[in-house]
A and B are shown apart, each in its own frame.
Chain A
């Protein structure tokens, strides 16, 4: 290659490398809370018949918490409540909510016939305003003043743009107490020194700022109060100032809760933000009292009953005992749990999980069909104190969290072992269990040695495990990989690593600075918000390609109907009516967790007519839980009525709407 070609190609190559990263900068025109308000007003102005705005609260920062209501105001339709960006840390979610609103009054107008839509595009406007502040800071609290460090002043020591680059990043300083070292071969990333590997910490990392109140702490009490996204009553975490003093302590969370309880027609809640519960089923491994196998009775009660207070009983036995003791045949597990103070459910109900699993399958396929990248970092499922957890666990409606983008996973080429006889985890997981066993003890021993399987495992144990079905080739491959990951651990934070590989410009290189109290430091590191901002030119596409799944979710709602009615004349003026109520939708009505928390308002079958006499059955029959895809309940009445008269059977409930059937009292006897 000639020098000239290199001279021409090199800049071109550099351009190619740099261009995408330049575009990845935050040049997308995200709307400020005020612009979001304006966008809502504009939309309502253009669609007066079908759109209204309601302010749910005024924030401590004097902003309106504005909700958009779409669809027929008086229609008895189920409503879908879409809440965006409650933790104020995920700008694309607010944009997506506005696009959803536009679509619903445009291309997707037919969805206004099926459902009513409540859209809250910016659930934490005070917190979100910080994203637009200069310098930008990671601060998601509302405008309430909180004395985070409980000293003699409020908000007296916030972050400061020490080097005047318009960004709040980090400071590093060589210090004997330092626990950090630079990541080898990387100019900006830092990692915690791993003493077990003989690494010695060199630097301490401190957020960029001054010790404004000379208490020895930097940025320990900045402006800003409570993060609305952590202020909800399920698994609320006390004693963290940014969560609030108690759940629902803030005007914003109160406004959202009040609205939800005042609108029993809300049948589903979708949270757009930095959580995702549809890529993976939310985890079920939270610990709680409610999960125990056996329970003790309260001491005084055990003594009264002449039982050893130390003795523990399985739930089944407690229910039987309780029924006998109270004479209440309807005493159930929930009542016992309440009495024992066992606490709330903290894991998704196992019967709800089967529906959830199917939805994750459909989401995977949807992402594949939309040609969206699937190899990206995972966002958390449910978070404690979040709107979403409250919506599922306490409000009792189907709840889904959807994100739109995370950093791509760092593509790590699987290291091809020089020795091709080594059985790698990749090869292993392609083998069947029988093929693995066929390798024989010697080869399995070599495989274990090559893959550093801990020495307390013997080949015989492994083979026994595979034979007994406790172990599979897939499980083993995963265990080996996890073991390797653990060994490689102590490296840079995986998110930072992914960000660096995606966009090195998201980091400020370390620059010397003479700090007034710390002395010489270097300022640099990750720019705020850079892990949540997709490339600007991809934002619109990411939204438009993923939003249709919101409609898919909406269409999963239960669909109740009167499948069949049979009338049988038992005697003159006496009729038996059998009605089969069926759920044709995908989701159960209500969810299994909804049944536990007695929400939403039940669907009720009501039989009405002139001078009806109910010989068996009651006029109103609340319908119990109907599973999805054909769950059925038979309701039977024996009534006295005039031969030939007409009675009406109504099926109604706020999350459902209503269906009415007219039934003639006639027909023969069986």
Chain B
């Protein structure tokens, strides 16, 4: 029955969109005042793909453990060139199945870019000159289950790969249990005079810690469940745990070092598929992986093993990170291993340290947004009170009452537990705490998509100009050429240059006999790094907010052709009259 209703609602949505699209210049309308379940996301992508067949492709890059498709949505204008000829931006969301709104940011980005194409000049330029690779749902299996199966906001982070968490010889034998059948996992508490908590006299829904010597009232039992395997531990071996964001291949560490790492690098199907996809797109310059929560822009290094990032690359990160902080007020730009905790095998480190691609993890939202206070009162106090920046619970409960009409918190209710006897079940519901309330979603998706759009505008754009041609006599001419890049990202990261990760940019001169060639370090001082072999072909990069000057000494007359061939920037050609 539920399925039928859902199906009907999707049909309604599609019908609405189609009717709207005929009315208003064939543009589909998607709204961002609610969360989309996986089927609705795929329907929306199909809709966009159908509305913009010339700008988009929708394809499956593989199957998950539960045989669901991993969808890739590509935005590229073939009229302005192949996707791999343009700087690429990779965006994904919801690698952890419970971090659902990350997917809406991906969908909104696609929707906004496409609907603004031809109307907003900046966006038209961007879509014509960049390629966007969007995987809105990474953890397809558990995002699907987060909507349909019992869960709480922290639950279903893993890939669906069995794992024996408690090392008792059985895998996944003691999961949480939806005891009261409301399809949600809430908290359990039991009356206990020795418990550490008592009811808050100001709000009976809330428990507060007892003071030393004070009589207790409640003991917190944890998430809803029973000790299914009778080992004296509750819910200690649920499905998984394999954290796909610990399963990627840069200095991957096994589970005894990094919890959730999986059996070996890319052993889970989605990381395997995504890694094998991104290596086919050497044009990718930057990646975003959206998560919740904490309101953070996180860059690597994720662990000491990754070593230090080069100062040039850090400058790129800092520039983009500080801009991102301003586009999303309240978000902090931080370094994962320094400001948070160590992670091994995460996607971002893989992209930067293995492939030399910059990237941010966007930690969307924080329950600090669930405020109930006069305008102008600062948030910092609370941000300090809790590392993750949760609002005080009494304030959140007011927010729940006054803004959400009590929909966020389920009142404590008595339940007869098969093992503990009489207990109470209640607490914050699934679509809260880490996930914004529907009315807040619109701003969240627009601000975060705007960070992606700004960053995309800062991918390398190389243009060629002639500095001069000087007759050296004896039939020899000195040709000096300049490549400029006005953007924040160099044509190749310092990481790529240092570790020789992919082919460098090639500056080539043709149509003349080349006697010598090199990179000009300093024009007034005439300092040149000469290239000993094949001087007509010079391998280098173009730095950010800067230029690269090249010199050739050639013999010949007529026209020479200079080309710039870069894997991450659009190629350029220039004719030079000698």
A residues with CB within 8 A of B = 147, 150-152, 214-216, 233-234, 236, 238-239, 245-249, 254, 257-258, 261, 289, 298-300, 304, 334, 337-344, 393-394, 596-598, 601-604, 614, 618-620, 622, 653
Residues of A within 8 A of B341 (CB): 298, 339, 341
Q: Is B522's beta carbon under 8 Å from chain A? A: no
Q: Which residue of A lies closest to B303 (CB)?
A: A341
Select which of B170, B256, B500 is within 8 A of A239 by beta carbon. B500
Select which of B232, B252, B303, B304 is within 8 A of A246 by beta carbon. B252
Residues of B within 8 A of A618 (CB): 230-232
Select which of A340, A596, A620 is within 8 A of B168 by beta carbon. A620
Q: In the complex the two chains form, is A620's CB within 8 Å of B169's CB?
A: yes
Residues of A within 8 A of B229 (CB): 620
Select which of A247, A261, A619 is within 8 A of B265 by beta carbon. A247
Residues of B within 8 A of A215 (CB): 533-534
Q: Is B253's beta carbon under 8 Å from chain A? A: yes
Q: Which residue of B lies closest to A652 (CB)?
A: B169
Q: In the complex the two chains form, is B266's CB within 8 Å of A248's CB?
A: yes
Residues of A within 8 A of B503 (CB): 147, 150-152
Q: In the complex the two chains form, is B167's CB within 8 Å of A602's CB?
A: yes
Q: Is B24's beta carbon under 8 Å from chain A? A: no
How far does the alpha carbon of A653 sit from the alpha carbon of B170 in the complex, in Å?
11
Interface size class of B (residues with CB under 8 A): 35 or more
How far does the alpha carbon of A130 sit from the alpha carbon of B537 in the complex, in Å?
33
Q: Which residue of A lies closest to B256 (CB)?
A: A597
Q: In the complex the two chains form, is A394's CB within 8 Å of B249's CB?
A: no
Residues of B within 8 A of A393 (CB): 254
In the A-B complex, list the 4 residue pairs whose CB atoms are closest, starting with the nearest: A246-B249, A341-B342, A216-B533, A597-B256
Q: Shortest CB–CB separation between residue B380 and chain A, in angstroms?
A: 16
Q: Shortest CB–CB separation between residue B192 and chain A, in angstroms?
A: 16
Q: In the complex the two chains form, is B169's CB within 8 Å of A653's CB?
A: yes
Can you list 15 contacts pairing A with B, beta carbon distance less than 8 Å? A150-B504, A214-B533, A233-B254, A236-B252, A238-B354, A257-B264, A261-B264, A340-B342, A341-B303, A343-B253, A343-B304, A344-B254, A344-B257, A597-B256, A614-B230
**B166-197 contacts to A (CB < 8 Å):** 167-170
Q: Please name 4 further chain A to chain B contacts, defined as beta carbons within 8 Å, in addition to the given A239-B499, A343-B304, A598-B256, sorted by A numbering.
A: A216-B534, A236-B252, A597-B254, A618-B231
Q: Is B339's beta carbon under 8 Å from chain A? A: yes
**B213-238 contacts to A (CB < 8 Å):** 229-232
Q: Is B511's beta carbon under 8 Å from chain A? A: no
- Knowing A238-B353, A239-B499, A618-B231 are in contact, say whether A343-B257 is a contact too (CB < 8 A): yes
Q: Is B50's beta carbon under 8 Å from chain A? A: no
Q: Which residue of B lies closest to A603 (CB)?
A: B169
Residues of A within 8 A of B167 (CB): 598, 602, 622
Residues of B within 8 A of A247 (CB): 249, 252, 264-265
Residues of B within 8 A of A236 (CB): 251-252
Q: Which residue of A lies closest to B508 (CB)?
A: A152
Q: Is B350's beta carbon under 8 Å from chain A? A: yes
Q: In the complex the two chains form, is B537's CB within 8 Å of A245's CB?
A: no
Residues of B within 8 A of A620 (CB): 168-170, 229, 231
Q: In the complex the two chains form, is B250's CB within 8 Å of A602's CB?
A: no
Q: In the complex the two chains form, is B249's CB within 8 Å of A300's CB?
A: no
Q: In the complex the two chains form, is A289's CB within 8 Å of B169's CB?
A: no
How far does the alpha carbon of A214 sit from the alpha carbon of B534 in the complex, in Å?
7
Q: In the complex the two chains form, is A249's CB within 8 Å of B249's CB?
A: yes
Residues of B within 8 A of A246 (CB): 248-250, 252, 265-266, 275, 350, 354
Q: In the complex the two chains form, is A338's CB within 8 Å of B502's CB?
A: no
Residues of B within 8 A of A601 (CB): 164, 169
Q: Is B112's beta carbon under 8 Å from chain A? A: no
How far does the alpha carbon of A627 sit from the alpha carbon of B85 in the complex, in Å?
61
Q: Shortest CB–CB separation between residue A245 and chain B, in angstroms?
A: 6
Q: Which of B252, B254, B304 has the largest count of A CB atoms less than 10 A from its CB?
A: B254
- Knowing A147-B503, A343-B305 are in contact, say whether A602-B249 is a contact too (CB < 8 A): no
Residues of B within 8 A of A604 (CB): 168-169
Q: Is B432's beta carbon under 8 Å from chain A? A: no
Residues of B within 8 A of A150 (CB): 500-504
Residues of B within 8 A of A289 (CB): 304
How far does the alpha carbon of A304 sit from the alpha carbon of B251 in the complex, in Å?
30
Q: Shortest CB–CB separation between residue B15 and chain A, in angstroms?
A: 45
Q: Is B337's beta carbon under 8 Å from chain A? A: yes
Q: Shortest CB–CB separation between residue A655 and chain B, in angstroms?
A: 11
Residues of A within 8 A of B264 (CB): 233, 247-248, 254, 257, 261, 394
